[in-house]
Amino acid sequence: MFLATVRSNDDTGSTLLLSGELDLAAAPEFRRALRSLGSGPVVVDLSGVTFLDSVGVGLLIGADRRAREAGGRLTLVVGPGSARQVLVACGVDRIVSIVDPR
């Protein structure tokens, strides 16, 4: 099961908290959640993601591209584990800013 929760959404930016599996089945909910966010910096917290496949990677890269086109930026919060391994193996860390959870 996948859940996307907007944790904050104001003039300074938005935070989207994800949990569950970020895959093809989650794509519609992820896209809806992103559309609900304003412009500006977006933080996507993947700390609760238990599975990330190539579709999920593509969704994150697309979200980064759209954020940049709108003059914003995307930051991914990713703890140690399989999601980070997938992102690094795919080279996403060279495109999108990845930080450790606080």
pLDDT of 84: 93
pLDDT of 11: 67
Q: What is the pTM of this model?
A: 0.90
CATH number listed for the domain at residues 3-99: 3.30.750.24
11 or 52: which leads in pLDDT? 52
Predicted confidence band of residue 35 (pLDDT cuts 50, 70, 90): confident
71 or 45: which leads in pLDDT? 45
Exposed, middle or buried, 26 (CB in 10 Å: 0-12/13-18/19+)?
Answer: buried
Ordered by start, the domain boundaries in the chain are: 3-99
pLDDT of 38: 72
φ/ψ of 97, rounded to 5, equals: -70, 125
Query: Mean of the pLDDT values across residues 35-39?
Result: 80
